[in-house]
Amino acid sequence: MTESKTLQYALSLAKRGLYIFPIQPGSKVPYSKAVMGGGWKAYSSADREQINQWAKELPGCNWAVDCGKSNLVVVDLDTKNGKSGGYALRQLEKQYGKLPSTLTIKTPSGGFHYYFKGLCSSGTDKLGSGLDIKSLGGYVLAPGGVIAGRMYTPITKFELASVPGWVVSMAGAPLEKEQKIQEPACVLDQDHNVDIAANYLKNAAPLAETG
């Protein structure tokens, strides 16, 4: 897997409206706030130019998908540490039917990421032992990412199905509310607005009471 191919995967996801951000090479850890100027939830982007710029500035990086901003639910089937997510999923599918065909990524540990459109609560073992949910407030490594020399490999087309209702019911509704950034009524640091504020403080503002 070449670095250019890994970037192509990231751009392909962004083209589908998913928000991407860079991860430190060979790891699942985002770059520090000092490097990126903030936390990953603030700067994840679906903008092609921004992603290409990151690729130039941070060669060899892995990529991750911001599930919440992307309106995404990822069913994370885990097979390590004694867990059997495959067994848990088979039991659920006996009751609710097969998961719909959707973008599926094979993970380096032998598990799978099933990508769906939608939102729900994130957490470990949400659907049973070895069946985690990554959605609002969470992220997953994008296809092409490499951990310990092994790659996250797409095994289906990059097409997303809607999340089944039973998955949302079991996982629970999203707990984290998106915080909308409030725009100021005016651009506070423009000269004329600074002058207005200074004049108010000097001539019109009430005196502060001390006690």
Residue range 183-203, pLDDT digits in tens: 333 444 444 444 544 554 555
Name the residue with higher pLDDT: 148 or 193: 148
Angle at Cα 89 formed by Cα 116 and Cα 114, nearest 5°? 25
Average pLDDT on 25-47 reads 94
- The proportion of the chain whose per-residue pLDDT surpasses 90, expressed as a percent, equals 75
Choose the weakest-confidence range: 101-110, 164-173, 176-185.
176-185
Reported as a pLDDT band with limits 50, 70 and 90, residue 179 is very low
Q: Write the CB contacts of 144 (distance below 8 Å, at least 6 apart in sequence).
A: 1, 5, 6, 7, 8, 9, 10, 62, 63, 151, 152
For residue 181, pLDDT beyond 60: no
Which residues sit opposite 151 in a β-bridge? Answer: 146
Structure tokens at 79: 């097979």
Average predicted confidence (pLDDT) for the chain? 86
At 6, the amino acid letter reads T
Nearest to 21 by CA among 118, 105, 115, 145: 145
Nearest to 64 by CA among 44, 49, 48: 44
pLDDT of residue 208: 44
91, 127 contact by CB (below 8 A): no
Reported as a pLDDT band with limits 50, 70 and 90, residue 39 is very high
Cα dihedral 136/137/141/142 (nearest 10): 40
Phi, psi at residue 152, to the nearest 5°? -80, 115
What is the pTM (predicted TM-score) of this model?
Answer: 0.81
Pairing of β 161-162 and β 112-117: parallel
Burial class (CB in 10 A: 0-12, 13-18, 19+), 72: buried
Choose the weakest-confidence range: 10-14, 35-39, 127-131, 141-145.
35-39
Alpha carbons 70 and 51: distance in angstroms, whole number? 15
For 138, the 3-state DSSP assignment is: coil
pLDDT of residue 4: 81
- The proportion of the chain whose per-residue pLDDT surpasses 70, expressed as a percent, equals 81
Strand order in the sheet with 62-66: 19-23, 62-66, 139-141
pLDDT in tens, 77-96: 998 888 889 999 999 999 99
Which residues sit opposite 77 in a β-bridge? Answer: 112, 131
